[in-house]
Structure 1
Amino acid sequence: MEGHSNNIDLEMEMKELRQTFNSGKTKEESWRISQLKNLMSMLVEKEDQINLALKQDLGKHPVESFRDEVGPLIKSVNYALKGLKKWMSAKKADLPLAAFPASAHLVPEPLGVVLIISSWNFPFGLSFEALIGAIAAGNAAVLKPSDLAPASSSALAKLINSYLDTKAIKVIEGSSNVARVVMTAAAKNLTPVALELGGKCPAVVDSLSSSWDQKIAMKRILSAKFGTCAGQACVAIDYILVEKKFSSTLVELLKAAILSVFGENPKESNNIARIINKSHFSRLKNLLNDPMVQASIVHGGSLDEDNLFIEPTLLVDPPVKAGIMIEEIFGPLLPIITLEKIEDSIEFINSLPKALAIYAFTNNEGLKKKISSGTSSGSIVFNDAIIQYVADSLPFGGVGESGIGRYHGKFSFDMFSHEKVIARRSFLVDFWFRYPPWNDHKLHLFRSAYNFDYLGILLIMLGLKRS
């Protein structure tokens, strides 16, 4: 009976959301602005509460929490507030001369009541990044945070109930079964879907000769692997591809950088997040338990199950058929695969499902061109990693198995909008050959019209040109 009661409550909540949306309230620019400003107030005033929840769920340091979640959200809200009026405006569409006198515009309208299912690794960042777009586009919204990050889920519910319009924006807490109920309801209505999935994001590391380039590249690689939710991120570097002749140098550079960035005892440094739960810890432990994988470890490898901590771990040439090279790792384990020549990286990348991102550290312009044209992914970043995620002017999303749809900045607004066509025409001019009865003369006129041969149309009409 409890499940039946929950379904009734959910239906009541959905009914209120639909009523709010149908009232036209969420379409008003003033409502959108007020909700975005309230969201900004929440981020500024409740930063400590957000940090505490992230510490409890994931062991994130407050600086990491601000860098990856609170800070980017403040930036995103400001960006939406600045661009909202322009985003909402109708855009004039080009029409062929044959349609004269006529005009057409594309008018963005909200989709309606939208569902946002968030994940546990960036529980605030991913929840609110999508919600910003949904609000800016004028939608009512249901947010389903992940039950795997319970402190964050609870904080999200309390904060949204305190700061936002709860008749238009609701948080549904609970297990994945709740998400299934909501998704089942959405499926009945031919609902469009955007999915951010991830996959194995590779880093191609060329033989960097400059010591400065090497130093900066190592910091960026470590930050994009171990320093971003302990590698539990869809955009984190999953594995490295490098030439055999540079591999030993790369390993030593990475070891030195790990010591410099995370110290001799990374667990005590408080600079690396914890694994989300025992189930994910066991999955990562099992990846390492393969004897051939175990033999490939060249640094780290220690595990502390009681504290859900895994040391930054480097592996050189684990078997490509092992689980660690087939599954998305989603943790602080970094395989390094050696190749005869760096150009072979393209074939290797293409042998796996399309990645959300490809990172390549190189000064070789020819290699950059080959990677750009020879691979397919959600994005490519040269000589850095994850920066594409925080740029409001760039769309973020995958392709193929790494996801569908894209968001961030104006792209979030577009994702939660439908561009409605509004066309206008006068009665002054009409093209009589549009209508039956049909004959060869009209067919000839159509052939000219669809080839934009306006002179031909005129000559046919004047009897100066025949088919």
Structure 2
Amino acid sequence: MKQSPEEIVNKARKAFASGKTKTYEFRLSQLKGLKKFVSDNEVEMVEILKTENTKPKFEAYLGEINHMKADIQNAINNLEEWMKPLKPTKPLPNIMDQVLITPEPFGVVLIIGPWNYPLALNISPLVGAIAAGNCAIVKPSEVTPKTANFLLETLPKYLDQSCYYVYNGGVPETSALLEQRFDYVFYTGSTGVGKIVYAAAAKHLTPVTLELGGKSPVYLDDSADIEVAARRIMWGKCLNAGQSCIEPDYLLCSVYMRDKFIKAAKLAIKEWYGDNPAKNPDFCKIINDNHFQRITRLLKGAKIAMGGATDPETRFIEPTILIDVKPDDLVMQEEIFGPVLPILTVDTPEEAIEFINKREKSLALYVFSTSKMEQDKFIKGTSSGGIVINDVMMHYSCDALPFGGVGNSGIGRYHGDFSFETFSHKKATLVKGLDKMGEFMQKIRYPPYTDGNLKILSTLTQKFPIGPGLIRLIKPALAVVLALIVYFGFYFRK
């Protein structure tokens, strides 16, 4: 019999209260369980992704399995270091104290995953939740029921079943989950649903990470190598049939580069998928009829420069390029999430930046240019979750970088040690001694208040305009001198 959300949350909260998830040994054992889950089930996962998402084996490994493996192993390798309290630089008044930032788990967290990468985008946040010492409930997308059932039936075999749960269902079940009080909510999906999740979490002042999306622009400068740029941009557009939250959504370039780009893109698509991409096993199909119909509606009335073929039976949409696109066209009003690339022409990088900045902040921004000056214009003059120069999407696989949105494209970040940080509360920890000397030196804070004591305290707490290099040399010596001043000041005033 299926447990209710309330029952699951209560059991997870009881397990967390026992303290079992807080030890290094327990966390490590669960991460190793996740590692075994992936390695034991690789063949089955590839097959599920092929039948449900029509993902070729190459993309299943590239976008999901390899990413999960790297995420898990990275956490195993660094867990002990991540768990150590951080020791920030001490301010002078605390020179005798122990000053720490202690990472502690939030408690019971909810992870709501999407359908486009239904394994990696459920498991990767779970890696961070486990590493940080939380209990977790994973809610896979109902759009990919085979993957959801696989996770429900298989994942618990590798993890502590009192701490980690998979809960399946559609909108009613997700809504019922969101009515529960969690200590953290991690959601990956659309901006519209993200707002619903955010509102539900706000009722309990629950912190959230929202990994959303948006229309990630590409700027193609006249200086770029057109063949390299076209191949990289079209690869991002065609990977998973464009069903990626950081897929290049639209292209900004000059008329001169537009025509060269289309020619190079046609050559690349023919090289990759042949004369009939619909029959090529390396090209995915659209996930379901609703999304197929939504994308094909975007093509109506549009001027097609490449592709445009569709097949409702197989949900195939050919890699397509649109030209003469206007900012108020339907295709520019929503995230495309498919293999359709609109091109809008601009005359200068400044015009492209102005166009981008008038719209909602995107999850990613891509710039193709050999000019350092032009690259810097976009890095400094725009705001996005991430920016990649001369490629697309590759920042996602670099776990040294935080991954997340800004504004309409999301809240929070994860990947690598940023995942551990996301699922950890950074607790301020100040440890003082109870020795008589320490108390004697701090007597000046107590009444009766005097101008002399205030002057000493003001000197101790003042921040001096000294360069970083000098601080390393002067600060320890200054601390000792000030401590002696305080000590002898009290001594002679007795």
Q: TM-score, normalised by structure 2?
A: 0.87
Amino acid aligned to 1:223: W
The one-letter amino acid paired with 2:391 is D
For residue 161 of structure 1, report the CA deviation from its aligned partner.
2.1
Q: Distance in 1 between matches of 2:449 and 2:430?
A: 27
Deviates more, 1:442-451 or 1:43-52: 442-451
- Count of aligned pairs: 450
3-state DSSP of counterpart to 2:353: helix
In structure 2, stretches of 5+ residues that fail to align are 182-200, 465-477
- Of 57, 74, 78, the residue aligned with 2:73 is 78
What is the aligned partner in structure 2 of residue 278 from structure 1? 289
Query: What is the correspondence of 1:56-455 to structure 2 with a 5 Å cutoff?
Result: 56-186=51-181, 187=201, 189-208=204-223, 213-227=225-239, 229-289=240-300, 291=301, 294=302, 296-426=303-433, 427=435, 428-429=437-438, 430-452=441-463
SS at match of 1:298: strand
DSSP 3-state at the match of 1:436 = coil
> Per the alignment, in what secondary structure is the counterpart of residue 85 of structure 1?
helix
Structure-2 separation of matches of 1:183 and 1:21: 19
Give the drift of 1:368: 0.5
SS of the residue corresponding to residue 87 of structure 2 reads strand
Native 8 Å contact 1:116 1:130 kept in 2 = yes
Structure 1 position 39 matched with structure 2 position 39: no
Cα distance in 1 for partners of 2:348, 2:93 equals: 57
Query: What is the rounded CA distance, in whole Å, between the counterparts of 2:482 and 2:40 in structure 1?
Result: 68
Shift of 1:393: 1.1
For 1:71, what is the secondary structure of its paired residue? helix
**Equivalent position SS for 1:384:** coil
Q: Is the 8 A contact 1:143 1:171 kept in 2?
A: yes
C-alpha separation between the residues in 1 aligned to 2:330 and 2:431? 59
Render the CA deviation track for 1:168-206: whole Å, top value 9, x for unaligned. 110000012222222221345432100011111111111
Instruction: Indicate the larger mover: 143-152 or 172-181.
Output: 172-181
Report how far residue 261 of structure 1 moved. Answer: 1.4
How far is the alpha carbon of 1:22 from its aligned partner? Answer: 1.2
* Per-residue deviation, 1:25: 1.3
Tell me the distance in 2 between the aligned counterparts of 1:45 and 1:76. Answer: 16
Report the CA distance between 1:94 and its aligned residue: 2.2
Report if aligned partners of 1:73, 1:129 keep a CA contact under 8 Å in 2: yes
Using structure 1 for the length normalisation, give the TM-score. 0.92
Task: Verify the 8 A CA contact 1:243 1:342 in the aligned structure 2.
Answer: no
Structure 2 SS opposite 1:93:
coil
Contact preservation (8 Å) 2:9, 2:180: no
Q: Which amino acid aligns with 1:32?
A: R
